[in-house]
Amino acid sequence: MNRKNSEYLYEKAKTLIPGGVNSPVRAFKSVNDTPFYVKRAEDAFLIDEDGNRYLDYVMSWGAIILGHAHMGVLEEVRQAILSGTTFGACHRYEIELAERIREAFPSIEMVRLTSSGTEATMSAIRLARGYTSKENIIKFKGCYHGHVDALLVKAGSGLATFGIPDSKGIISDYASHTHIADFNHIESVYRIIENDKNIACVIVEPIMGNMGVILPDMPFLKQLEALCKENNIILIFDEVITGFRVTYGGAQHLFGIKPDITCLGKIIGGGFPIGAFGGRADIMNNLAPIGDVYQAGTLSGNPVAVRAGIYVLDYLKAHPSIYTEMDDFLTILEKEVINLAHIHKIPYKINKITGMWTGFFTDKDIRNYEDASKSDKFMYERFFKLMLHEGIFFAPSPFEASFLSLKHKGDELNHTLKSFDRVFRDLKRS
């Protein structure tokens, strides 16, 4: 596969942009490759600067659900731009998007728009601290909530210890307010709370998507919800990925949980930068300008992003069969791929839920960070490169989710299964 133009652009980018990329995983460093450069996108495909066509299972990291360059979205955006690209002032579409989010999430009584998921999680944590007058937080090993200082931490020497910085530039004192617990292990949360009465909030991805897809054990989230209520701790669901992807609304619908605050992003912007956080009115009313917790953003509620998001949410609500179709796609894919793995004697497990999935090179079930970290990263590197040669783009990291769209249909499924057959055969030989 010729990628000469992409290689030229990457070398030029490295002289202008740190590492040549504006988000680290795009550098393909974890798979020891160099990135291709997208020229355009359509339906379920990306086309690069060399004319190569890739079946896309990244879908802008979950933000695209109707397919690339969906004509309805494009027309809505065209109409929005004709009225102006940004106002720095109030407009009615902010209200319309807020109404749709509140209708879809019974746990959300009020919502504040931001420009990214990172802004949403950062602001939600600040709000939880302001509301409770407590300082410390709990997150789960392997959950990613954006590049917020307090959240870029890893586990210390024990389950109930504070985190230490996972990035230079984060002061230890700031990170020391973050405890690390284990996903799907409620005892790790109990232990932290028993030893620290200064916990403002617990933040969690109800379905992990940033260590690959990892589903919660059935009692885990219910136990977490009850534990937070008993101890007056704010429960924050990070549904930036899962919101409107796993069902209309989010994962909290599937599991019957009512978090105090929910963070959203990706799909609610229809392919444009956006974020949001919302929850109980008595909590949200602590935000400025009526409360003492400050949060602001010049481009928050950008009219183009908001109108694109409204179109997508309305489309999803009017076409609930999309979720059934994605679920059917993944059911067939899992069955056939696992069968191919057995035939070729490749250790492979799939974790999936409607609209998102991850394949792990292991023969063990994946229930948490430790399980995922033991999967074969070298095998994934070879898999990634072989699939790219087949014209299929998976995430350039073994610890990410793959995503479907409305445009992933029968032809795309057949292409994927034939490629898995050839790639597994090649992996077995190497």
Query: Tokens 């690339």 sit at which residue?
Result: 68
Name 182's bridge partners: none
Instruction: Give the whole-angstrom CA distance, residue 42 versus residue 59.
Output: 11
Our answer to whether residue 266 is catalytic in this structure is: yes
Given 134, 139, 141, 266, the catalytic residue: 266
Query: Tokens 């609304």 sit at which residue?
Result: 249
Given 48, 182, 238, 371, the catalytic residue: 238
Name 147's bridge partners: none
Given 144, 323, 369, 380, the catalytic residue: 144
Two tokens, residue 257: 């949980």
Amino acid at 256: G
Instruction: Give the whole-angstrom CA distance, residue 101 versus residue 243.
Output: 10
Provide the greatest CA pair distance for the chain: 65
Amino acid at 133: S
Show the 3-state SS of 35-57. Answer: CCCEEEEEECEEEECCCCEEEEC
Query: For the residues of 208-263, what is the DSSP string, one character each?
Result: B-SSS-BPPPHHHHHHHHHHHHHTT-EEEEE-TTTBTTTBSS-HHHHHT---SEEE
Which residues are tagged catalytic? 144, 238, 266
